[in-house]
């Protein structure tokens, strides 16, 4: 009898295969697309959605040989309405066709049957993403439907623990019974991750911890040894490769480091766009993606993925 590898195992295999923990965020924004798309001033949702789909497919074509996973930001597509959601389906299908894992960044969270519906739709239903970001604010019971579906479908979830935005300190750093709120959430995540590890080092439940909080990242990695950590905030938000070292295990695994705007809109970065014509924006994307990979290899345990 054969069994489907767990999400944690598939993710580890993909990271080893590409020799990098880099995750590219797909956050299309009308005003930031290369000028060749011609939608910077249009308000026609169908035209914008078509541009988003084409742009993201062409980004995927560049990064697919280089990274293990992409992270579509659902809000960017939802903002365009039904046409945007059709574009999202197109983008997810294209990513899969290129051998990429897909992490749907929707930060979903609710109770009871509504949580079940979110889990079924995004992890088992028509979207069938490999993983989904989840908001734990409603409590651990609100996460259980996602955990159940993820375990049954060999998918994964990433629970918000310490987010990268400056305002995360407003609630997540509040101290309760001697620990911060983020530390309480981390304890719950670790319990769920260990429960779903199926004999491996990591479970189906991971955590989101921002690169902009390197001290907390170190502490939270120690508190969640069985959880993959998704690390947003690298690049445009100020996170550096050196800031994310603590997210990794000794083998260079256990962490996914996210960059979106710095890579997909690299045509707007003079150092990446140097010498390129407007239609060569994909070359800028490739340069930026390779630069990210090199920085992570130079300054984090990810170097071990390359035999370093």
Using alpha carbons, select from 128, 132, 101, 91 the residue that is nearest to residue 15: 101
Which residues have CB under 8 Å from 113's CB, separation 6+? none
Give the pLDDT mean for 223-240.
87
Cα 234 from Cα 213, distance rounded (Å): 11
- 69-72 vs 22-26, strand pairing mode: parallel
Look at residue 306 and tell me whether its pLDDT is greater than 80: no
Torsion (CA) 24, 205, 86, 67 in degrees, nearest 10:
20
| Phi and psi angles of residue 133, each rounded to the nearest 5 degrees, phi first | -85, 140
Q: What is residue 169's predicted lDDT score, i.e. its pLDDT?
A: 94
Predicted TM-score (pTM) of the model is 0.96
Q: What are the backbone angles phi and psi of residue 134, rounded to the nearest 5°?
A: -130, 140
Positive or negative, the Cα torsion across 220, 133, 284, 308? positive
What is the distance between the alpha carbons of residues 159 and 24, in angstroms, rounded to a whole number?
18
How do residues 76-125 score in pLDDT, each as one tens digit? 999 999 999 999 999 999 999 999 999 999 999 999 999 999 999 999 88
- Tens digits of residue pLDDT in 20-78: 999 999 999 999 999 999 888 888 999 999 999 999 999 999 999 999 999 999 999 99
**2-8 long-range CB contacts below 8 Å, 24 or more apart?**
4/154, 5/154, 6/154, 6/196, 6/198, 6/200, 6/204, 7/130, 7/131, 7/150, 7/154, 7/155, 7/156, 7/204, 8/156, 8/197, 8/200, 8/201, 8/202, 8/203, 8/204, 8/228
Statement: residue 308 has pLDDT above 60: no
Residue 307 has pLDDT above 70, yes or no: no
Residue 238 confidence (pLDDT): 65
Q: Choose among 223, 291, 286: nearest CA to 257.
A: 291
Which domains, and CATH codes, for the chain? 7-301 (3.20.20.70)
Let me know if 107 is a catalytic residue. yes
Say if residue 148's pLDDT is above 70: yes
Rounded to an integer, the average pLDDT of 121-135 is 94
CA atoms within 13 A on the CB side of 129: 28
- Structural element, H or E, at residue 2: none
Question: Per-residue pLDDT for 1 more than 80?
Answer: no
CA–CA gap between residue 6 and residue 255 (Å, rounded) = 16
Going by pLDDT thresholds of 50, 70 and 90, the confidence category of residue 175 is very high
Of 50, 71, 107, 162, the catalytic one is: 107
Q: Tell me the pLDDT tens digit for each residue of 282-305.
A: 999 999 999 999 999 999 999 998
């Amino acid at each position: 009898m054969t069994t489907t590898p767990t999400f944690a195992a598939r993710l580890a295999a993909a990271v080893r295969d590409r020799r990098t923990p880099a995750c590219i965020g797909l956050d299309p924004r009308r005003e930031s697309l290369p000028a060749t798309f011609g939608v910077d001033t249009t308000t026609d949702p169908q035209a914008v959605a078509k541009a988003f789909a084409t742009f993201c497919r062409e980004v995927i074509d560049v990064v697919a040989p280089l990274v293990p996973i992409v992270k579509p930001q659902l809000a960017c597509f939802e903002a365009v309405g039904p046409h945007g959601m059709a574009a999202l389906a197109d983008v997810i299908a294209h990513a899969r066709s290129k051998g990429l894992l897909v992490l749907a960044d929707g930060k979903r969270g609710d109770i009871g049957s509504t949580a079940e519906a979110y889990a079924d739709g995004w992890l088992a239903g028509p979207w069938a993403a490999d993983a989904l970001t989840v908001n734990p604010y409603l409590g651990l019971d609100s996460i259980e439907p996602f955990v159940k579906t993820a375990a049954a479908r060999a998918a994964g979830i990433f629970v918000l623990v310490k987010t990268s935005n400056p305002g995360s300190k407003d609630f997540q750093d509040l101290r309760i019974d001697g620990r911060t709120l983020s530390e309480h959430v981390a304890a719950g995540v670790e319990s769920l991750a260990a429960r779903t590890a199926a004999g491996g080092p990591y479970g189906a439940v991971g955590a989101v911890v921002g690169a902009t909080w390197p001290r907390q990242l170190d502490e939270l990695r120690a508190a969640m040894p069985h959880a993959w950590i998704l690390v947003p905030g690298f690049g445009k938000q100020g996170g550096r490769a050196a800031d994310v070292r603590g997210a990794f295990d000794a083998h260079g695994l256990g962490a996914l480091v996210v960059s979106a705007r710095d890579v997909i809109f690299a045509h707007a970065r003079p150092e990446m766009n140097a010498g390129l014509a407007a239609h060569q924006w994909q070359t800028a994307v490739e340069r930026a993606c390779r630069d990210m990979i090199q920085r992570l290899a130079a300054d984090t345990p990810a170097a071990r993925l390359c035999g370093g």
